[in-house]
Amino acid sequence: MLAALRHRLHETFVRWALRVRPPEPAPIILTQRRVYVLPTRAGLAYATALGVILLGAMNYNLSLGHALVFLLAGLGIVAILHTFRNLVHIAIRPGRCEPVFAGSPAQFALALDNRRPDARTSLRLFLGDRDPIEVDIDAHASTIATLAAATVKRGWLPMPRVTIETTWPLGLVRAWSYAVPDLNCLVYPAPAAKAPPLPWGGDSARGSTRDGRGADDFSGLRRHQVADAPRHVAWKAVARQHDGPLLTKLFTGASAQQIWLDWNELSQTPDSEQRLSILARWMLDADAAGLAWGLRLPGLQLVPDNGPAQLAAGLRALALHDHGSR
C-alpha cells in the first residue's frame, strides 16, 4: 500500500511538474519553472559533515573551523547554482523512430539543443525504470539521444515520459525535469515462429510484369530459401555436389510469379492476432524470396508488388488493422 501511495503521489507531482497536457509540442524548452533541485545522498552527508564541523568549531572556539565551514558551505551553494544552470534552457525536439516488431525495443531519438555559450556536461536521460544514457552537449550545438522502450503489442506506441537529470559538477544536488515529446513508434505484429507454408494455390500462380524473377528464361542460381517453390529447386545441380546447399533457379521474363496473402485463408486460426503474425511471417518469407505478393485484409487490399516499399506498406497495414490509421 505504501508503494502504491508513493507511486500515486509521484504521478500527481509529475502531472503538476509538466504544466501542460502531454504530448508536448516541439520544441520543449526546460525553463526555470520546470527544473527542480534536491540534495543527493552525498549532498545530505556533506551538509551533515558541515554541521558536525560547525558544532566542533563553536564548542572549541576555533576561528579556522568557522572559516572552513563557511568556505565549504559557499562551495555547496555554488554547486547548486552550477547544477541548475547545467540543465535549464535545454531545448528538446522529437527525432525519428523506425518501426519495429512487437517484442523488440523501440528506439526513440531525441535532439537536444544547447543555445548557450557554455557546454552541458553529464546529462542523463531515461524512460521509466530503464538504465539512463549519458550525453554531453557542446556550446551552441546539438546532440542526438536514443532511448529504448519495450514493446508488447502492435500499433502506435507513444513515447513514454522522459526524465532528464544531472548532478554535475560535484554530485551534491540533483537537478531534473520531465518531458513528453510528441513522438510515436509503429509496432508491427511479431512474425509467427511457426507458420504454414506460403499459399501457392489459387491465384498465386498468376503472372506479372515484374522483371528479376519470372518463369520464362533461366538466369542463374542462388541459395534455396524456405519460401521458394519446390519446382524451382535445381535438383540436378544439387546432385552434382557432395553435401552442398540447396539451390534455386532464377528466371527472367514477363511471367514472374506472384502470390496472394489472404486473411480468409487462415479461417482455421480463430485468433486474429495469430493470423496477423502468420501474415507477417508470410510477407517476410515472400520478400526474401523476391516474390511479388498482394495482401487481402477485411476492408483493405494491396495489389501484388515486391520491394521494401511493398513490405513496409503490408506490415503497416497489419500493425494498424482494426486500430485505425494515423
pLDDT at 323 over 90: no
Quick one: 320 exposed, middle or buried, by C-beta within 10 A (0-12, 13-18, 19+)? middle
Per-residue confidence (pLDDT) for residue 248, from 0 to 100: 72
228, three cell numbers: 521458394
The pLDDT confidence band at residue 228, using thresholds 50, 70 and 90, is low
128 compared with 302, residue with greater pLDDT? 302
The pLDDT confidence band at residue 219, using thresholds 50, 70 and 90, is low
Per-residue confidence (pLDDT) for residue 268, from 0 to 100: 86
Per-residue confidence (pLDDT) for residue 325, from 0 to 100: 54
- Which regions of 73-140 does DSSP assign to beta strands (E)? 90-94, 100-101, 106-114, 120-127, 133-137
Average confidence score pLDDT of the chain: 86
Q: Which residues contact 128 (CB under 8 A, 6 or more apart)?
A: 149, 160, 161
pLDDT at 214 over 60: no
Least confident of 15-29, 117-131, 200-214, 217-231: 200-214
Interval 167-177: pLDDT, tens:
999 999 999 99
pLDDT at 15 over 90: no
Q: Which residue's entry shows cell 552527508?
A: 45
Cis previous bond, 199, omega within 30: no
Spatial separation of the C-alpha atoms in residues 133 and 108, rounded to whole Å? 13
Per-residue confidence (pLDDT) for residue 249, from 0 to 100: 66
Spatial separation of the C-alpha atoms in residues 41 and 326, rounded to whole Å? 46
Adjacent-strand bridge partners of 325:
none
Give CA 45 to chain center in angstroms: 38
Per-residue confidence (pLDDT) for residue 237, from 0 to 100: 64
142, three cell numbers: 546539438
The SS3 call for residue 253 is: coil
- Cβ neighbours around 179 below 10 Å, total: 22
224 compared with 137, residue with greater pLDDT? 137
pLDDT at 254 over 60: no
Per-residue confidence (pLDDT) for residue 79, from 0 to 100: 95
The full 3-state SS of 293-318, as one line of letters, equals EEEEECCEEEEEECCHHHHHHHHHHH
Q: What percent of the chain has pLDDT over 70?
A: 83
**Residues 196, 201, 202, 207, CA torsion sign:** positive
20, three cell numbers: 501542460
Per-residue confidence (pLDDT) for residue 142, from 0 to 100: 96
**Residues 168, 171, 175, 180, CA torsion sign:** positive
The full 3-state SS of the chain, as one line of letters, equals CHHHHHHHHHHHHHHHHHCCCCCECCCEECCHHHCEEEECHHHHHHHHHHHHHHHHHHHHCCHHHHHHHHHHHHHHHHHHHHHHHHHCCEEEEECCCCCEECCCCEEEEEEEEECCCCCEEEEEEEECCCCCEEEEECCCEEEEEEEEECCCCCEEEECCCEEEEECCCCCCEEEEEEECECCEEEEECCCCCCCCCCCCCHHHHCEECCCCCCCCEEEEEEECCCCCCHHHECHHHHHCCCCCCCEEEEEECCCEEEEEEEHHHHCCCCCHHHHHHHHHHHHHHHHHCCCEEEEEECCEEEEEECCHHHHHHHHHHHHCCCCCCC
Spatial separation of the C-alpha atoms in residues 166 and 81, rounded to whole Å? 12
Per-residue confidence (pLDDT) for residue 210, from 0 to 100: 41
Q: What percent of the chain has pLDDT over 90?
A: 62
Per-residue confidence (pLDDT) for residue 213, from 0 to 100: 45
Closest among 138, 146, 94 to 117, alpha carbons compared: 138
The SS3 call for residue 201 is: coil
Per-residue confidence (pLDDT) for residue 221, from 0 to 100: 62
pLDDT at 153 over 60: yes
pLDDT at 59 over 80: yes
The pLDDT confidence band at residue 318, using thresholds 50, 70 and 90, is very high
Please state the CATH superfamily assignment of the domain spanning residues 11-188 in this structure.
Immunoglobulins (2.60.40.10)
Q: Delimit the domains of the chain by residue range.
A: 11-188, 202-319
Per-residue confidence (pLDDT) for residue 58, from 0 to 100: 93
